[in-house]
Structure 1
Amino acid sequence: MQRRALLAGIGLSSIGVGAAFGSGAFTTVSANRTVDLSVTKDDGARIGFTPGNGASSIIGTSTDSSSVEVITVSKSDLNDRAKTVFEDALTVTNNGGSGDPAVDIYIEDESSVPVGAESADVLDLQTATDNNSIVGSTNAVEVSTDGGSQSLDVVVDLRDSSVDGNTFDDIAEITFVANSA
């Protein structure tokens, strides 16, 4: 009798362990993905954009004849229904001199562009130090003068069922706004 009870107990334990670990449910997964960011350099600009410390392979700089800084994001092999974070991808620097004021920077929040931290938003830029979105004027972060900088993470969130990679492709531009603090 004890042998049958032992075998039944082992069988039930196996079913329980199989149900718990064999369900495929997990909270975190890691995969290598790439995003290409390029910046057009404008040496005379008050605000400068440069590759972040963690972005040596995904961001580059170039000089454009129009002297306008342009950041281009293109995806490569991003998973649908996943959130992908490119840490420290971009650095925004205040090129003002010692007599100039600090600036508050944020991403212009336009309802037609799916950018921000809301569930249906595909692209977000967040501070690398505390992962707070900088989309919208209420989320502005201060960048001190005379070379002060803010590192940003690029977040692509395709977890919402109403968005996919095509939604990401539809983002033609985002606008950085800098106001005196």
Structure 2
Amino acid sequence: MERRKFIAGVGSLAAGGAAALGTGAFTSVSATRNIDVEVADDASAYLRLEGTGGANSEYVTDDGNGGTLAINLDSNNATGAGGDGVNPDAVTQIDDLFVIENQGTQEVDVSLSKSGDNSGLVKFYTDSNAYDDGTSIGSGNNPVTLSTGSSVTVSIEIDTEGESVGDGDELLDSVTFNADATS
């Protein structure tokens, strides 16, 4: 019988010690870790955005602030021949403006969202989207899927037919590119 009392006593002592010292649970932890994140210009970023350098390169510029892509179709970027904007009541298509390339480590779905007073009049198309099919990058569920290292060339269509826009009206202010990993 003494052995049972001894074992019960040791068990009680261990349980009491655990209660006195706690169970190892915690309420909060704060730990500092080194993480390096750097901004790269658009041509070097994980999602590369860069002008094609082709015949329509006058419309694609660098804004001078960190190498970001800018498409400029207004009077601030008049062409050498004197053009300084798109026509009212017309459809303007400019092919092969810029390239989107996945320089990351996983496949991504790329879409875009637009802002501006008349942003619905401007559509961005890839090589695989015909102008007449009514789709553009980011409309509905129409992202462009890019595997690692793959790219797509993007064109633009501005349709002002039947719209009440005139000289100096802003059509598009900015475009946000979204790249979401597919897996």
TM-score normalised to the size of structure 1?
A: 0.59
Structure 2: give runs of 5+ residues left out of the alignment.
1-39, 75-83
Tell me, in whole angstroms, the C-alpha distance in 1 between the residues paired with 2:176 and 2:97.
Answer: 17
Q: Is the 8 A contact 2:61 2:72 kept in 1?
A: no
SS in 1 for 2:94: strand
Which structure features the higher share of strand residues? Answer: 1
What is the root-mean-square deviation of aligned Cα atoms in Å? Answer: 2.8
Moved segments of 4+, more than 6 Å: none
SS in 2 for 1:74: coil
- Give the letter aligned to residue 102 of structure 2: N
The CA deviation string for residues 7-35 of structure 1, in whole angstroms up to 9 with x for no partner, is xxxxxxxxxxxxxxxxxxxxxxxxxxxxx
Aligned twin of 2:154: 152
- CA gap of 1:135–1:164, structure 2 versus 1, over 3 A, is farther
Aligned twin of 1:141: 144
- CA gap of 1:153–1:109, structure 2 versus 1, over 3 A, is same
Instruction: State percent identity of aligned pairs.
Output: 22
Aligned twin of 1:126: 125
- Give the letter aligned to residue 118 of structure 2: P
Tell me, in whole angstroms, the C-alpha distance in 2 between the residues paired with 1:170 and 1:153.
Answer: 16
The CA deviation string for residues 104-126 of structure 1, in whole angstroms up to 9 with x for no partner, is 1111256x6533xxxxx221101
- How many residue pairs match? The answer is 130
Structure 1: give runs of 5+ residues left out of the alignment.
1-39, 116-120
Tell me, in whole angstroms, the C-alpha distance in 2 between the residues paired with 1:123 and 1:155.
Answer: 6
- CA gap of 1:114–1:138, structure 2 versus 1, over 3 A, is farther
TM-score normalised to the size of structure 2?
A: 0.58
Aligned twin of 2:113: 108
